Amino acid sequence: MLRRRCVVVGTADRPLDASALRDWAHAVVSDLILHIDEINRLNVFPVADSDTGVNMLFTMRAAVVEADLHANSQADAEDVARVAAALAAGAR
């Protein structure tokens, strides 16, 4: 059974910036790895081929790689745009 966890990525003390987005993406990848078999069994969309979790993991890993490549950048908006583009490119 999936354990529920809440990851807060933007607060008054910590704005939603590229660093927070990167932390969130790493948390998502960790949780996907932990629950990939269960997610695969859900087999929700778009085809019944039991790879929903694998596809989600590949998509999020693409975003994490891109975010980590630019981790020391000061251009938050550009970093977020890169992560969004990587999510789209990594979607399977």
pLDDT single digits (tens) 5-14: 666 666 777 7
Query: So what's the pLDDT on residue 29?
Result: 95
Question: Would you say residue 18 has pLDDT above 80?
Answer: no
Is 54 inside a domain boundary?
yes
- Which two three-digit tokens encode residue 35? 């629950």
- The tally of domains found in the chain comes to 1
Residue 6 lies in a domain: no
Neighbours of 56 (CB within 10 A): 19
Q: Which pLDDT score, from 0 to 100, does residue 35 have?
A: 93
Mean pLDDT value of segment 70-85: 75
Q: What's the domain range around 38?
A: 18-90
Residue 11 lies in a domain: no
Of 72, 61, 29, nearest to 39 by C-alpha is 29
pLDDT the model gives residue 1: 57
**52 within 8 A of 40, measured Cβ to Cβ:** yes
Domain assignment of residue 2, yes or no? no
Is 60 inside any structural domain?
yes
Confidence of residue 80 (pLDDT cuts 50, 70, 90): confident
- E strands along the chain, which residues? none
